[in-house]
Amino acid sequence: MTQTVTEFEVHDIRFPTSQQLDGSDAMNPDPDYSAAYVVIRARDGAEGHGFCFTIGRGNDVTAAAIEALRPYVVGRPAPRTAADLAALHTALTHDSQLRWLGPEKGVTHMAAGAVVNAAWDLAARSAGLPVWEFLAAMTPEDLVSLVDFRYLTDVLTRDEALAILRTAEPGRIERARRLREDGYPAYTTSPGWLGYSDEKLVRLARQAVADGFAQIKLKVGGDLDDDVRRMGLVRAAVGPGVRIAVDANQRWDVAEAVRWMTELAPYEPHWIEEPTSPDDILGHAAVRAGQPVKVATGEHAANRVVFKQLLQAGAVDFVQIDAARVAGVNENLAILLLAAKYRVPVCPHAGGVGLCELVQHLAMFDFVAVSGSWEDRVIEYVDHLHEHFADPAVISRGRYRAPHAPGFSARMLPESIAAHRYPEGPVWRARLRTAEGITP
């Protein structure tokens, strides 16, 4: 008998990372890393966990948007197959009234992604496989069936996507073996938060290199002279053989981005990330053409259409998918196929809370079954909050180790959920009492 979903839980989970300025950048000076978190349970006990990442205020809005999707899940069959997961993705992203709020972008689209990702967690756990392997075991035909090709067929047809996947199919087993043995290349942003002191910046940059990372990233965009000085400090600390990427977090207009990066160029930045508005495709193209540093973006790109246009316009050198920004695994598969069509490396955005855990699966699947390459490809890593997950991301000598536990690595520990639920969890009760001048 088909097992139905009987439970649908939504939690507003927040971590007070602003206390130490972890995650601070030029646009987001005081983030509290947060997750609008959803759990779906089937009658037979199968569970799926998913979430949207936010940085504090508004996490309750995202949680409410997830709650609005309850009728599409509860009382319906628990998804187990590619056909089930395709049908759920379509149902969640095609509700005409909810779609009006986007369409296919913003809070409602992110909420759909949280539920879609929870469904993938349930399906992969039921199959006894991590999501990257669950995906990589599917046929090219099954994978293509997961993608919504509407708005894409002018640059990527179903037949072209099939051809990409069929080309990669013969090497899947060998690449999966290599992935298990070697892991996937990573870079770290942990040294480079804008609120850190010079001493902490230099110390953490040196430590990252000692830990095996061949690339680190600095936040920029607060003050040009200060950025030039900080870049010089880090370049002197790590030497010429380590890549240093920089990230402006959407801080600049186009002309300002060109001027800023021209000043930083002598220190050989590997890329400039999010130099301007994430919606400004032509602006990114102008930044790419106007200065010598390569351009990366995507963590705030709203959907597959924005990625399509970034690639069409020649606006990016690196595509940065985010596991919890677009509508989950299905839409990220579309983006991976678009990047493969244009032969642009995918270097996922991570960090946050749980994003490293999720996106490692997508990059590893891409290596095994889509692009077949990790040349010029790295997954971001930030050493924050992994201890709250049952199957945390594991880094060894600057590389992600391939997850082996079934699922999407998304399950947060029950005690962490209880402690950090907002505003009633004890972490937040204590902090709010302190803010009000009351002794905890």
Confidence (pLDDT) at 71 = 97
Confidence (pLDDT) at 436 = 65
Q: Which of 11, 49, 308, 349 is catalytic?
A: 349
Q: pLDDT of 281-328, one tens digit each?
A: 999 999 999 999 999 999 999 999 999 999 999 999 999 999 999 999
> String of b and e for 279-318 (b: at least 16 CB within 10 Å)?
ebbebbbbbbeebebbbbbbbbbbbbbbbbbbbeeebbbb
Asked about 349 being catalytic, the answer comes back as yes
Q: pLDDT of 353-365, one tens digit each?
A: 999 999 999 999 9
Is the CB of residue 46 less than 8 Å from the CB of residue 32? no
d(CA 363, CA 354): 15
Banded model confidence at residue 7, pLDDT cuts 50, 70, 90: very high
Strands 269-273 and 243-247, bridge-based pairing: parallel
- Collapsing DSSP states into helix, strand and coil, what is residue 71? helix
**Tokens 């490809």 — which residue?**
377
d(CA 344, CA 366): 12
Confidence (pLDDT) at 24 = 67
Q: Which of 11, 219, 284, 308 is catalytic?
A: 219
Among 102, 121, 94, 96, smallest CA distance to 38 is for 121
Is the CB of residue 113 less than 8 Å from the CB of residue 326? yes
Burial of 100 (0-12, 13-18, 19+ CB in 10 A): exposed
Is the CB of residue 258 less than 8 Å from the CB of residue 272? no
DSSP output for 254-266: HHHHHHHHHHHGG
How many of the other CB atoms lie within 10 Å of CB of 375?
8
**Tokens 């199968």 — which residue?**
46
Burial of 190 (0-12, 13-18, 19+ CB in 10 A): buried
Span 215-240, mean pLDDT? Answer: 96
Confidence (pLDDT) at 440 = 39
Asked about 11 being catalytic, the answer comes back as no
Give the H or E element holding residue 36: strand 34-42
Q: pLDDT of 22-75, one tens digit each?
A: 666 667 778 899 999 999 999 999 999 999 999 999 999 999 999 999 999 999
Query: What percent of the chain has a predicted confidence (pLDDT) above 90?
Result: 91
DSSP output for 197-210: -HHHHHHHHHHHHH
How many of the other CB atoms lie within 10 Å of CB of 177?
11
Span 425-440, mean pLDDT? Answer: 75
